[in-house]
Amino acid sequence: MMNSIIKNVCCIGAGYVGGPTMTVMAHKCPDLIFNVVDISKERIDSWNNKNLSKLPIFEPGLKELIKKTRNINLFFSTNIEKAIETADIVFISVNTPTKTKGFGSGKASDLKWVEASARQVAKYSKGHTIVVEKSTLPVRTAEVIQDILKSSMSESHRKGVSFNVLSNPEFLAEGTAINDLENPDRILIGGDNKDAMLALSKIYKTWVHEDKILFTNIWSSELAKLTANAFLAQRISSINSIAAICEVTGADVREVSRAIGKDTRIGSKFLDSSPGFGGSCFKKDILNLVYLAEYFGLQEVADFWESVVKINNWHQNRISKLVVKKLFGTVSEKKIVILGFSFKANTNDTRESAAIQICKDLINEGAEIIIHDPKVNPAQIEYDLNGNQSQNNKEKAQQKLLSGYGSWKFSKNLNIFDGCHAVLLLTEWSEYKNINWYEVAKKMVRPGWVFDSRSIIDPISIKNANLNFWRVGDGSDEENINF
């Protein structure tokens, strides 16, 4: 029979979601024990590193909370069996990337890690366990998890085990994860068992007002998560498409954003034009929706959502083309400084970062690029640009020729402007707002170009430094106006 009193929590997956989510829960619920487990020993070792600047994830406010909870009521380990065995509730927070092979390749989510997690729960759990989908999943995945768990209940040696499956998608954004978890807009709990839903909501009620806790059926909860990401990504593709129109008509996308954002029906958030959205989820979740629509024969719906991803790819591509065009049609052997490699500021995550494709394009055009990022590890850049998985070979990661053509180097500091032809800002790290462009200009090859894909550089400081300037969605450059 079900026991809805929760004392022990297990989270399978110690990534960008599992780690911060359980840390905040452990901080808010000191009476509960949280065991976060992962198959990656390297990741768990980093979570347990005494040096808090070596945690596997950089997230503002995270290390302060880890300091208060780790080895008190929050434990990171690879002992998956024990953590599941003792758990009253198991959160599945494993990765769900887009499939790269087989049926649905390129669109459907690869559920092999979710299935493996469900099988682990089916094998090791004792008594009654609430199983929570925290990962973002295709609609009706809960059915698959339920089937796996049910089949284990019928095994003779598993008598007395029982399960409830809930959907509780995570809406945190990287870079603001701690604040998002502490002050969520809503907590969504989908399921069909009231006791289990209430038991889960009780954890959240420790710090979230009950008005913000929404109960839905399980399929609505799964679909709402995909829909939220699709709507957010759609806004970015919309504003980036308008930025391109601004550049050729003399309009300014910042003014357009401000003007439309004042309409309370539209709202002002997520209207910042950029080099295109990155991150591990927007593209994968939209493609998942596209797959779902195609599967059910809704081709027009699939086409509508796929266009959001297409515009994003086109927009990233147009930025690298534009840099080449402005530099007299060739970047061969020209030094170009890249400011920022993560997909947004305040995270070390580079997954699907616009910087990856843009840097690859410039290297393929023969540029010698120097990349600076305050938090991204050069070994990660090596992996992103060259597909080299060796995380140890730092020497190699410092400089690597790609396709025998251009090259890239990484720099930890900003003394990198000597002899460069252009600077391309790709991530909105706050330290880039304080660059002294007058001093930088003295070091650059003339005519020097600054490209700002995030609108954080003051155009006047660039003008005073006598540099050429391109800013996303800025139509003030007469040369581009096509009338």
DSSP assignment string, 17-78? THHHHHHHHHHH-TTSEEEEE-S-HHHHHHHT-SSGGG-SS--TTHHHHHHHHBTTTEEEES
Question: For ligand NAD, which residue of 174, 222, 365, 368 counts as binding (CB under 6 A)?
Answer: 174
Is 38 among the residues that bind ligand NAD (CB under 6 A)?
A: yes
Residue 18 interacts with ligand NAD (CB under 6 A)?
yes
State in angstroms the smallest separation of the CB of 93 from ligand NAD.
5
For residue 13, the partner it binds in ligand NAD, ligand UGA, none, with Cβ less than 5 to 8 A by kind, is ligand NAD
Sheet containing 8-12: give its strands across. 74-77, 33-37, 8-12, 89-92, 128-133, 162-167, 187-190, 213-216
Are 26 and 73 within 8 A, CB to CB?
Answer: yes
Please give the size of the binding site for ligand UGA, defined by CB under 6 A.
Answer: 20
> Which candidate in 10, 281, 359, 420 is catalytic?
281
Q: How far apart are CA 245 and CA 309, in angstroms?
A: 18
The residues in 258-297 that bind ligand NAD, with binding defined as CB under 6 A, are 280-281
Residues 86-115 interacting with ligand NAD (rule: CB under 6 A): 93-96, 113
Task: Give the C-alpha separation, 397 to 415, whole Å.
Answer: 19
Question: What whole-number distance in Å separates Cα of residue 420 and Cα of residue 371?
Answer: 12
Count other Cβ atoms within 10 Å, centred on residue 305. Answer: 22
d(CA 453, CA 322): 11
Contacts of 27 (CB under 8 A, 6+ apart): 65, 68, 69
- Indicate which of ligand NAD, ligand UGA, none lies near residue 236 (CB less than 5 to 8 Å, by partner kind): ligand UGA
**What's 425's DSSP letter?**
E
Answer yes or no: are the C-beta atoms of 332 and 366 closer than 8 Å.
Answer: yes
Binding partner selected for residue 18 from ligand UGA, ligand NAD, none, CB under the kind-specific 5 to 8 Å limit: ligand NAD
Interacting positions 199-258 with ligand UGA (CB under 6 A)? 229, 232, 236
Least CB distance to ligand NAD at residue 242 (A): 26
Cα–Cα dist 438/453, whole Å: 20
Given the complex with ligand NAD, which of 94 and 323 has the nearer CB atom?
94
C-alpha to C-alpha distance for 320 and 453, rounded to whole angstroms: 11
Query: Applying CB under 6 A, does 272 fall inside the site for ligand UGA?
Result: yes
Least distance from C-beta 190 to ligand UGA, angstroms?
Answer: 16
- Region from 117-125, 166-174, 308-316, 326-334 binding ligand UGA, contact rule CB under 6 A: 166-174
C-alpha radius of gyration, the chain, whole number: 24
- Binds ligand UGA by CB under 6 A, chosen from 166, 271, 286, 435: 271
- Within 411-450, the residues that bind ligand NAD by CB under 6 A are none
Q: Cα–Cα distance between 347 and 465 in angstroms, integer?
A: 31
- The stretch among 146-154, 170-178, 199-207, 214-222 that binds ligand UGA (CB under 6 A) is 170-178
- Which residues carry out catalysis? 281
Binding site for ligand UGA (CB under 6 A): 136, 170-174, 229, 232, 236, 270-272, 274, 277-279, 281-282, 343-344
Binding site for ligand NAD (CB under 6 A): 12-18, 37-40, 43, 80, 93-96, 113, 116-117, 135-136, 170, 172, 174, 280-281
